[in-house]
Copies of this chain bind each other. A is one copy, B any other.
Amino acid sequence: MLAPRALNGDTFGSPRHPLTVCIPPKCSYCSEDRPLRIGVVLFPGFQALDAFGPLDVLNILSWSHNISISLLSLTLDPVSTKPPRKATATGQSILPTHTFASAPPLDVLLIPGGLGTRSLAAPVEHAISFIRSNHVHLKYLITICTGTSLAARAGILDGKRATTNKMAWAETTALRPQVEWVPHARWVVDGNIWTSSGVSAGIDVTLAWVEEVFGANVAEEIARGMEYEWRHDPTHDPFAEHWGLWPL
């Protein structure tokens, strides 16, 4: 269902099109002169670091590679990280660039998590609908923390291996038992779907994705620039042990 496809409909990995994704600077077959188009889903109560860890990686990537980033939400109103049900909590407001209805074509979609994912309100329901409607056109889907629950609720992770936040493991995985949940993983790759553990794990999965698509040197340089001790092992997960999810 989510097999990567070339821009022209050709299948990635074929002899004519050997790359796993069509990146204009790398793909001599498509050779389209356009940026790699990345979208980020926003909703009230998204977790700040879930989004801005990966976005920091991608912003630095943009200094040397042709990418675009769209921030998508139900409306163009500022979206706060303040969890809807925590009256005294602090939050910061981010400006979307597009609504779900006006979203441009996307190659990659990132879905952050946060307490806001627990909401049944319109912004989250529309985010889930957007994910369900658009995932077949994506080359990559990357979820962070409980952002995985939105993809799971969209039904697009059924039968696939995926991980999510370890503190919220029980309630998140119960939302969609059809997913093959992996309890001991910093991040999990199944086809072109990359899912990560909680919050700061979004930095690791995004660096790993940059390594896959743009090469190890690019990812390493970004991690050093961020002074981030990137762990390359997706099974390094001390938090699974802390929360009693491993060993089983």
Q: What is A's interface to B at a CB cutoff of 8 Å?
A: 47-49, 51-53, 55-56, 58-59, 62-63, 66-69, 71, 78, 81-83, 86, 88-95, 145, 165-167, 197-201, 203, 224-229, 238-239, 242
Given A78-B95, A95-B78, A199-B56, also A49-B226 (CB < 8 A): yes
Contacts of A226 in B (CB 8 A): 49, 198-200
Contacts of A88 in B (CB 8 A): 62-63, 66
Contact yes or no, B63 A59, CB < 8 A? no
- Contact partner, A224, options B53, B68, B78, B239, Cβ 8 Å: B239
Query: Nearest Cβ in chain B — how far from A216, in angstroms?
Result: 16
Complex Cα gap A227–B201 (Å): 7
Contact yes or no, B227 A59, CB < 8 A? no
Contact yes or no, A94 B93, CB < 8 A? yes
Complex Cα gap A95–B239 (Å): 33
- Contact partner, A89, options B49, B63, B199, B225, Cβ 8 Å: B63
Contact yes or no, B49 A68, CB < 8 A? no
Contact yes or no, A59 B78, CB < 8 A? no
Contact yes or no, A56 B67, CB < 8 A? no
Contact yes or no, B93 A69, CB < 8 A? no
Contacts of A81 in B (CB 8 A): 55, 59
Contact yes or no, B58 A47, CB < 8 A? no
Contacts of A239 in B (CB 8 A): 224, 227
Complex Cα gap A49–B50 (Å): 10
Complex Cα gap A63–B88 (Å): 7
- Contact partner, A62, options B52, B68, B89, B228, Cβ 8 Å: B89
